[in-house]
Amino acid sequence: MKLIFSVFRYHLILLAIASLLLSYFIYSLAPVTSGAGVSMDVQIEKGAAFDPIIKNLVDRGIIRSGNSFKWYAVLSGGAHLLKPGFYRVSSSDSVVQIFEKFIRGPQDIVVPIIEGSTVLDIDTQLSRLGIVERGSIGKLLPKNFIADYPFLVKAKSLEGFLLPDTYHFSLHSDPASVVKKILDNFRNKALPLLASRPADIYENIIVASLVEKEVPDALSDRVIVSGIIFRRLNIGMGLQIDATVFYAKCAGRLLTCLNPRLIRDDYANPSPYNTYVHRGLPPAPISNPGTSAISAAMNPKKTDYLFYLSDPKTKRTIFSRDFDEHNDNRAKYLGL
């Protein structure tokens, strides 16, 4: 009887230990934190050892236990199925979620580039997402891409040719590969719109970049503003476009400008981009226009208008035929 009791007690102890181990195993698989947690990028190289990756996850507080991670990998039967590449993981991910990411392979990041972004705006956006290093896109020059994209022949920078659209990129991508993907999209979607005047592609992209920033919406208004720009150019009248002053003041940033409010002194900025000081087009685009703005630049509408402003309440574009009418509109809509 004593022997039976001893064996029973021994089994109870084993069961208790097993229960504790199982509870700890389940606990160690759960997320370390709730909410956003701590994030990090993990690189799995082809043929790389598993232990350094796990140690890194433990050291950064992403997972609780390296041994639990290993046991789960073995028990799931997927320890040999990890795919090389870069991954973003978080302490709010469970071990199961992290491991499944490693099994599926690197996932692209969806990046919507907004119409009117500048090269430096895009550089900031992509670097914040971990796609490229900060400053790497802004340093790339058109001459490095002209062989494959001859439409860049007159370009002084990539400004104007990074077509706004929704893209898919990987973490820690090569900056040149990122730009090539965007330029491929420009060639497919924007270049056909510019085909009717191939000799003036660069000038039309400059006009499109102005239209993009001056008239945010309706194509019907954009073609009129495009016509006003070309009319002013033809009669030698200054363009006097505020967006060019912004571009000069913010050193090539519009969406990420730290101090975008214009003051009187800004209009005297000697920058060649300031169309209040210099007649004609600015020397280069001031933004990356979308296909709507490019279409407007290619299809300017002839009117009697020479002036326009944007109603701050309705965002509607108000047009004027002469300076007196424009001043009346400034008083009516802007209180000036």
Of 104, 119, 141, the last residue of a domain is: 104
Which of the two residues, 60 and 140, has the higher pLDDT score? 140
Residue at 7 is within a domain: no
Number of Cβ within 10 Å of residue 82's Cβ equals 19
Q: Per-residue confidence at 10, pLDDT binned at 50, 70, 90?
A: low
Average pLDDT on 170-182 reads: 94
pLDDT at 292 over 80: yes
pLDDT at 102 over 60: yes
Query: How many domains in the chain?
Result: 3
CATH code for position 166: 3.30.1490
Residue at 123 is within a domain: yes
Tell me the H-state helices in 114-257: 119-128, 175-185, 191-194, 201-214, 219-235, 242-249
Domain with 48 in it: 30-104
CB-based contacts of 270, cutoff 8 Å, min separation 6: 277
Of 104, 131, 156, the last residue of a domain is: 104
The pTM for the full model equals 0.81
Instruction: Examine the domain organization and report whether 165 and 263 are in the same domain.
Output: no
pLDDT of residue 118: 96
Residue at 159 is within a domain: yes
Q: Per-residue confidence at 11, pLDDT binned at 50, 70, 90?
A: low
Instruction: Collect contacts of 260-265 with beta carbons under 8 A, ≥24 apart.
Output: none
Q: Per-residue confidence at 134, pLDDT binned at 50, 70, 90?
A: very high
Residue at 96 is within a domain: yes
Average pLDDT on 171-192 reads: 95
Residue at 212 is within a domain: yes
Instruction: Examine the domain organization and report whether 86 and 173 are in the same domain.
Output: no
Average pLDDT on 202-227 reads: 92
pLDDT at 22 over 90: no
Of 82, 104, 126, the last residue of a domain is: 104
pLDDT of residue 1: 54
3 state SS of 124? helix
Which of the two residues, 40 and 227, has the higher pLDDT score? 227
Average pLDDT on 155-163 reads: 96
pLDDT of residue 336: 65
User: In the numeric block, which tokens belong to residue 254?
Assistant: 């519009």
Q: Mean pLDDT score of the chain, rounded to an integer?
A: 88
pLDDT of residue 64: 85
Instruction: Examine the domain organization and report whether 210 and 311 are in the same domain.
Output: yes
Residue at 280 is within a domain: yes
CATH code for position 67: 3.30.1490.480
Instruction: Examine the domain organization and report whether 287 and 208 are in the same domain.
Output: yes
Instruction: Examine the domain organization and report whether 96 and 168 are in the same domain.
Output: no
